[in-house]
Amino acid sequence: MKTLSTILLTALSVVLILGCELKEEEPKGVIPEGHLNAMKKAENVEGLLQDANKKQLEEIDAASH
């Protein structure tokens, strides 16, 4: 029984080690194109929100004078 558990534990260890070695990782510093596009869109939206905020503040200032 002890031999069987040792064999199963060894086999499980080998499978886990092989599973970790087989996966490929993306190179560091590479941002997928879809993420870059999303960041550009977010920057555009941020600019629009800042412009709208500035316009509202100007309208409030004009109305208070």
How would residue 30 be classed by pLDDT, with cut points 50, 70 and 90? confident
Burial grade of 31 (CB within 10 A; 0-12, 13-18, 19 or more): exposed
Cα 38 off chain centre by: 11
pTM over 0.85? The answer is: no
Per-residue pLDDT of 36-60, as tens digits, reads: 899 999 999 999 999 999 999 999 8
Does 8 have pLDDT greater than 90?
no
Give residue 27's pLDDT. 65
Give residue 21's pLDDT. 62
Q: What CA–CA distance (Å, rounded) separates 45 from 4? A: 62
Of 64 and 57, the one with more pLDDT: 57
Q: What CA–CA distance (Å, rounded) separates 40 from 31? A: 13
Q: In the structure encoding, which two tokens stand for residue 48, read together?
A: 């629009």
Q: What CA–CA distance (Å, rounded) separates 15 from 33? A: 34
